Amino acid sequence: MAAAGLALIWWRRPSFSIDPLATPGPGWLIHLIATVAIILAVHSLSRILHTHLPSLRASARDMRRLLGELTWLQAAAVALASGVGEEILFRGWLLPETSLWLSSVAFGIVHFPPNRQWLYWPVFAGAMGFLLGWLQIWTGSIVFPILLHAGVNFLNLRLLLRPPVPR
């Protein structure tokens, strides 16, 4: 995904009004603090919803069956790979090529669920796509959306893949 995104960026970059591969600018510390705060807020919301919605608990069981137990290092590798690959493609190429709204909808669509119990997934992904795109536009750098995406994926993988607590 990252290779395809980089190829598309290289091909279309001269026509973009923003540079999707720009490095963080002078406000990087504020952007980093905001990114960490968003990671924690999204993960906290995920934890709350996970405890109150049976469909989320069921999808966690499905995910544990699919992925098994991952070590924190394996979860970090999966989170980083998806964060880098998807952000380069969706925020690096598709966002400047289309718009914040269209790239967010496309991001939600590619997260179409494997079964009906996961119908929240494309909605969550579309909302996250909007947040990630906004962060890309606000910071002017793809670094922060990558960090946000990888951070949320890492924490949520750790949440979803841990064995359930008996009630």
- 3-class secondary-structure state, position 46: helix
Task: Identify whether 22 is part of a domain.
Answer: no
Place of tokens 């919605």: 53
**What's the CA gap between 147 and 39, in Å, rounded?**
9
Quick one: pLDDT at residue 116? 73
70-98 pLDDT per residue, tens: 889 999 999 999 999 999 999 999 999 99
Residue 118 structure tokens: 């996961």
**Element spanning 167, H or E:** none
Question: With 90 as the cut, is the pLDDT of residue 58 above it?
Answer: no
Task: Identify whether 9 is part of a domain.
Answer: no
Task: Identify whether 135 is part of a domain.
Answer: yes
Task: Identify whether 43 is part of a domain.
Answer: yes
Task: Identify whether 79 is part of a domain.
Answer: yes
Please state the length of the chain.
Answer: 167
Quick one: pLDDT at residue 166? 64
Quick one: pLDDT at residue 43? 95
Question: Domain total for the chain?
Answer: 1
Place of tokens 């504020």: 30
Quick one: pLDDT at residue 20? 87
**What's the CA gap between 139 and 160, in Å, rounded?**
30
6-20 pLDDT per residue, tens: 999 999 988 898 888
Place of tokens 């990558």: 146
**What's the CA gap between 161 and 79, in Å, rounded?**
13
Task: Identify whether 16 is part of a domain.
Answer: no
* Contact predicate 94/6, CB 8 Å: no
Task: Identify whether 77 is part of a domain.
Answer: yes
**Which range (25-34, 60-69, 84-93) has the least confidence?**
60-69
Task: Identify whether 151 is part of a domain.
Answer: yes
Domain boundaries, position 47: 27-161
